[in-house]
Amino acid sequence: MRIAEVIVDITNSQVDKIFDYEIDEWGKVGMRVFVPFGNRIIQGFVINIKDNTTVEKSKLKKVISFVEDYVVIKEELIRLMHFMVKKYHLRYADCLRLFIPSEMRSDTIKPLFVSYVKINDKIDFQDYKKNIRANAKNQIALCNFLEQNILYKKTKLIEQFSRQTVKKLVDDNVLIESKETIYRQPDFNKIEKVSVVHTPLQNRAINTILSSNDTFLLFGVTGSGKTEVYMSVIEDVIKHGKTAIMLVPEISLTPQVLANFKARFGNEVAILHSGLSAGERFDEWQRILFNRAKIVVGARSAIFAPLENIGTIIIDEEHETSYISESNPRYNTFDIAKFRKDYNNCSLVLASATPSIDSFNKANCGEYKLIELPERVNGKKMPKIQIVDMLTELRNGNSGMFSSVLLNELDKCIKQKHQAMFFINRRGYSSFMRCMNCGYVAKCTDCDVSLVYHKSENKLKCHYCGKRYKALTKCPECGSESIRNGAIGTEQVVSKLKELYPNVNILRMDNDTTRTKNAYQKILTEFANSKPGILVGTQMIAKGHDFKDVTLVGIIDADQSLYHSDYKSTEKTFELITQMSGRAGRAKDEGIVILQTYAPRHYTYRFIANYDYKSFFIKELNLRKTTMFPPFTTILRLLFTAQVDETVREITKMCYNDIKKLRDDRLNDFVYLDVMKSPISKIKNKIRYQILARIKNENKDDIIEKIYDICDKYQNGKVSIFVEINPQNLS
Ligand code: ADP
Ligand code: ZN
Ligand code: ZN
């Protein structure tokens, strides 16, 4: 007897188990099946096939049929599922859903076929022709036509000779039909393949990556030609009969990038991102599944592409937080990439101009191999970054949002018909409070992170420990009463600029202006054609873009992310401003960056202005060490959500008590533990509580395992518990 282990496609913790079904000889591991479940018939995934079962014979049910006649989840991904379930405590069904296009589950997308017809060579065609009635003109014409032509699209024949005629010949078994799949492919701009001569540094990088199956950190300044390195590595890998995955943050998957890859690799590339239509996504995925595409370029979820025999995995802009999935199913793309690297025994390349502290630390410790590209390919210097003290401006009577230096540079830029980019760094839903006289920003006395102002309660809160403080009315440092909660928005900046330059095209790009499909592209194209022109935007404009005529970058309020309530805020500030600066002076004209701040002496800005990532890294790492933050510790957040406040609170409390017991047994492993309402205490009517812990790294796996066990104990239908390890934000 053949027994299939099946995961039913329902995401409900109660049924997230492996069920045994009898399956016939056609069944293979990785196929989707229809199975009886309770009194329904539902879809499931076969994850294993075995010879026997402990289920009683009378209770054993049979697989009814197969959803497709091919394997949709290959061996490697089934193993990956087990890995993810164990590592992140996910449900099987949630994992499996990641591995196939969502359209497949709803059954709304089908492969597209085209029918061809040709003459059946098993019959005597001439004989048949002779016997056609003389008045059947169409039929004769069709036969004559077919004699000259071997294979024809059925629809074309129908157009020419009528449906009836074609049908008659098919019915008479003179014409036979064959079906071929058509792959719907996303549009892309067709451009010529460009051949460049690699710089010696690029060559060294390419050769190093190709020489071993290690994990590499490619640390290359903006414009150092990293993309060229990726493409050459991929080219070599393909030449050796292997496949490649390249991940790019969604926002950087611009038509330009895709066109470059298509120009170089043609149909060997499949593209997976959210801008595709359902049909395109399904077909691109099918091309990968059936080994027709060998290179996958895509956003985060492309890491699950069903490629086999992978030769390299490349993660561009590795510092991007979007590589961490923050909603169910939660996972970290690096873990998945590492798993696939090990499974395929291939290279893994993480690349960035501003690597995350964590990755650079790993390179520093030898866990990753460091490769550097410290110069721009065209020899252009990085643009000068000029720091402007906004408090001095204020004292000199300029209370506006633009410093005199910035206004000056902007004037020059516009007169020369160049382009400018103004960056407003606005994150999240709330902001810090700042003294406009001395620049003081309130911090948590326990955590040394900035406090977040919660307008609704008029309180300052620490997002790490939950401690609450009175909102400031007077500066504790200098006594001034000019306290502002410091957020400037893109809209404000645009309207101010329009007053100044009514005849210049000024565009805005942020979450509000890019809601509709293609809006993002439209704005970028319009900006590219506006000379002079100004683009005002949030982080969206900071990365990847290659506008040749941008000579001025204005960072309106650099401090916004510096004072975000997050131990990574300096790291993120360094990254954002460096990336943003990289947009200026990329082609022939030199660029300048004006960085406006209320804290001009902050070490982060000094390192940014000198393009000195390494010194920044050393300083930052030391700080993390003294304050016991990652990578020296691990932060755990357990998020509890449910409709009813009492229910969540109760479960959270019980869970907390258990963890507290664990902490008391293992005092040495815990740096911090507390329970609190989440900073955003309610989302979509669900009440949110959280337990925060910081634990030392030595025994973290063991502790995390125990904490998962505790969560499992309390996880029930009413409350959902999410465990996050080193979460990106704590809201
Ligand atoms: P990065 O990703 O490191 O910021 P890119 O890969 O976007 O840099 O390269 C910047 C520009 O330099 C691109 O227009 C690219 O075509 C070009 N380029 C890359 N390598 C070379 C080279 N060896 N010679 C000339 N131009 C190059
Ligand atoms: Zn003050
Ligand atoms: Zn605190």
- List of domains in the chain: 3-106 (3.40.1440.60), 112-182 (1.10.10), 200-373 (3.40.50.300), 384-429+488-623 (3.40.50.300), 633-725 (3.30.70.360)
Highest-pLDDT range among 131-145, 205-219, 256-270, 666-680 = 205-219
Q: How high is the pLDDT of residue 428?
A: 39
Task: For residues 18 and 715, give the distance between their C-alpha atoms in angstroms, rounded to a whole number.
Answer: 19
Count of CB atoms situated within 10 Å of the CB of 539: 20
Residues 235, 286 contacting (CB under 8 angstroms) = no
**Distance from the alpha carbon of residue 211 to the mean position of ligand 1, in angstroms:** 22
Q: What ligand has the least distance to the C-alpha of 475? A: 2
Q: How high is the pLDDT of residue 14?
A: 79
Residue nearest to atom 17 of ligand 1 (CA): 225
Residue of 408, 390, 410 whose CA lies nearest to 400: 390
| β-pairing verdict for 592-597 and 384-389 | parallel
Q: What ligand has the least distance to the C-alpha of 484? A: 2
Q: Sign (positive/negative) of CA torsion 241, 247, 253, 257?
A: negative
Closest ligand 1 atom to residue 197 Cα is 23
Residue 539 Ramachandran class (φ > 0 left, ψ -120 to 50 alpha, else beta): alpha
Closest ligand 1 atom to residue 316 Cα is 2
Look at residue 544 and tell me whether its pLDDT is greater than 60.
Answer: yes
Which residues are found with C-beta within 5 Å of the ion, ligand 3? 444, 446-447, 462, 464-465, 467
Q: Which of 155-169, 232-246, 293-307, 330-344 has the lowest mean pLDDT?
A: 155-169
Residue of 526, 520, 542 whose CA lies nearest to 593: 542
Which neighbouring-strand residues pair with 349? 216, 314
Which of 227, 253, 314 for mutating ligand 1's site (highest number of atoms within 8 Å of CB)?
227
Residues 27, 50 contacting (CB under 8 angstroms) = no
Element (H, E) at 677: strand 670-683
Count of CB atoms situated within 10 Å of the CB of 557: 22
Task: For residues 566 and 577, give the distance between their C-alpha atoms in angstroms, rounded to a whole number.
Answer: 17
**Distance from the alpha carbon of residue 450 to the mean position of ligand 3, in angstroms:** 9
Residue nearest to atom 5 of ligand 1 (CA): 225
Q: Each residue of 415-464: pLDDT tens digit?
A: 999 999 999 876 433 467 888 788 788 888 876 667 877 766 788 887 66
Residue nearest to atom 12 of ligand 1 (CA): 225
Residue nearest to atom 10 of ligand 1 (CA): 223
Count of CB atoms situated within 10 Å of the CB of 109: 21
Q: How high is the pLDDT of residue 149?
A: 65
Residue nearest to atom 25 of ligand 1 (CA): 196
% residues pLDDT > 90 (the chain): 54
**Distance from the alpha carbon of residue 645 to the mean position of ligand 3, in angstroms:** 24
Show Cβ contacts of residue 637 under 8 Å, excluding neighbours closer than 6 positions: 690, 691, 692, 693, 723, 724, 727, 730
**E-assigned strands of 193-267?**
215-220, 243-247
Task: For residues 395 and 598, give the distance between their C-alpha atoms in angstroms, rounded to a whole number.
Answer: 12
Pocket of ligand 1 (CB under 6 A): 196-199, 202, 220, 222-228, 377
Q: Each residue of 103-123: pLDDT tens digit?
A: 887 766 677 777 777 778 788
Residue nearest to atom 13 of ligand 1 (CA): 225
Residue of 510, 571, 579, 578 whose CA lies nearest to 544: 579
Residues 429, 731 contacting (CB under 8 angstroms) = yes
3-state secondary structure of 430: coil
Q: Each residue of 167-184: pLDDT tens digit?
A: 888 888 888 887 777 777
Query: pLDDT averaged over the chain?
Result: 88
The shares of helix, strand and coil residues in the chain, as percent rounded to the nearest 5, are 35, 25, 40
Highest-pLDDT range among 52-61, 249-258, 451-460 = 52-61
Task: For residues 160 and 294, give the distance between their C-alpha atoms in angstroms, rounded to a whole number.
Answer: 39
Residue of 558, 562, 357 whose CA lies nearest to 443: 562
Higher pLDDT, 488 or 401: 401
Query: Is residue 564 very low, low, confident or very high in pLDDT (cuts 50, 70, 90)?
Result: low
Q: How high is the pLDDT of residue 487?
A: 61
3-state secondary structure of 464: coil
Q: What ligand has the least distance to the C-alpha of 567? A: 3
**Distance from the alpha carbon of residue 474 to the mean position of ligand 2, in angstroms:** 8
Show Cβ contacts of residue 254 under 8 Å, excluding neighbours closer than 6 positions: 521, 524, 544, 545
| β-pairing verdict for 310-315 and 347-352 | parallel
**Distance from the alpha carbon of residue 595 to the mean position of ligand 3, in angstroms:** 29
Which of 197, 377, 548, 580 for mutating ligand 1's site (highest number of atoms within 8 Å of CB)?
377
Residue of 181, 179, 183 whose CA lies nearest to 280: 183
Phi and psi at residue 551, to the nearest 5°: -115, -10
**Distance from the alpha carbon of residue 224 to the mean position of ligand 1, in angstroms:** 6
Q: Which of 51-60, 270-279, 496-505, 605-614 has the lowest mean pLDDT?
A: 270-279
Look at residue 150 and tell me whether its pLDDT is greater than 70.
Answer: no
Task: For residues 553 and 708, give the distance between their C-alpha atoms in angstroms, rounded to a whole number.
Answer: 47
